[in-house]
Chains A and B, each alone.
Chain A
C-alpha cells in the first residue's frame, strides 16, 4: 500500500511541477493547487493511515479509545486546506485582475514591473511612478 500512496503523491507533485513550469498564469495556479494537494496527502500519509476509529471521545468516556486515529494530521490537513483555499482564491483574483489590466496571462509579455526603472531605459521615455 505504501507504494501506492507514494506513487499518488509523486503523481500529484509531478503534475503540479510540470504545470508550474508553464508560462501561462492560469496553468501555474492549477499547478500550485495540485502541488498543495500533493503536500496535503503527504501530511495525511505521514500521520499514518489504518483501520482506526475516528478521534472523537465517545459519550461518557474521558479519553480517546486506544485504537483512535491520530487527530493531529487531520488538524494539520484541515489548516493546510483552508490556507490553500485562501491562497488559490487570492491567486485567481490576482490573475483575473492581471488579465483585465495587462491584457495577457502570458508571463513573458508581462514586463510592466521591469519597465518601471529598467537600467537600459532611454532617458526620454516617461517613467510612470506611483503617486
Chain B
C-alpha cells in the first residue's frame, strides 16, 4: 500500500495478477484445509476400523449352534436321577444314552465314541433337570430340547477353532469334529439366532453357551432410573439456583470451580467413595443397582449441572426482563419462560450424562457389581434395585477376562448391544432437541 502511494505506476495494479502476499496467504489457507481434511479422514478411518472390528468379532455372539433332541423321561428315571448325589450328571447320562440311541436309529454312517456326544453337547444335565423340575407333568411324554453345543464345537462352526489346530485331548478329538460335521449335515445341529445371549443371565465359566446379557441389562436399566430420578431434579435445581438466584460472590465462585473440577474426577474415585459411604457406612446392600445408581448419580451431576447452566445462560436476558417487566416474580420468570427455552439443552445434557453413566465400569467393580453376580433375574421391582446384579459394561468386562474364547466373543457381542443402547439414547436426545427447539 505504501508503495502504491509513492509510485504512480503501481497504483493501477491489475486485479488479474496475484501478488506475492496474496499467494502466500492463499497457500497457507489451502494447507490448512488439507490438514483439516487429513485430521477428519484419520478420525473416520479409526471409526471405521473400530466399527468393523466390533461387528466382525461381535456378530457371531448373536448366533449359536444348537442341537435339537427329542427326549422322553419316565417317572422312574426322574425319581432315580433325583435320588442321586450328582443329579445333573445323572440327567446327562440319561440324555447321552437317549441321544446315542437316536443317532444309531437314524443310521449315521460314522462310527463314534459315545463320549464324543458328551464333548459335543457340553452339559445338558442342568437344563434338562431344571425343565423337569418346573414341568413335572411333562414326564413320560416326548419333549424336544434345544441345547447349545459345547463352546469348542460352536467355535469350530463359527471358524474360531480350526481343524488344523486341534490335537486329540480329553476335551476334543478330531473324531468329534467329524461327528459334529455329520450332525450338522443331518440338520441335527443348526445355527440359530441366540436369544439366550440377549435375554439370558451370566453362566458359569465352563458353560459359555448359556451366558446372556439380559440380567445385566435389567441391572443397567435400574441404575439408569436411579440416576435419572436423582440427578435430573437435583442437577436442574442446583443449576437454576446457582444461575438465577445465588448472589455472585466468593462462595458461589468456589462452588462453581468445584463443580467443574468434579466433572474431571476419575470415576474410580466415585466408586471407592460409594463403597465407603453407601455400603460400609450406610449399610446399603452390596452389588445392588441402587448403590450403583447412587454412585453414578454423583458422577453424572456435574455433567448435568454444567450443561444446564450453559443452556440457562444462553437464554437471552431480554426474556427475563420481559417477564419481570410485566410483574412476574423471579421464580415465575424462570419457570414460565427461561426454563422452557433452556429445556432442549438440559435434556441433551442429561441424556449425554446418562449415556456416560451407562458405559461406566470402574466404579461398579468397586461396589461389587461384577459380571458373575448377574446369575439370577430380579424377582420384582424392589429386587431389581436391591438384589445383587451386574450392569452391561461390568458384565462385558467380566466376560473379556475369562479364558474361554467363547466368552471373548460374547464380550464383543455385549459391546454391540451396549452401543445400540447408547445410539438409541443419542437418537432420543436429538429427537427431544428437535421437539423442544423454539426460536426467539
Bind each other: no
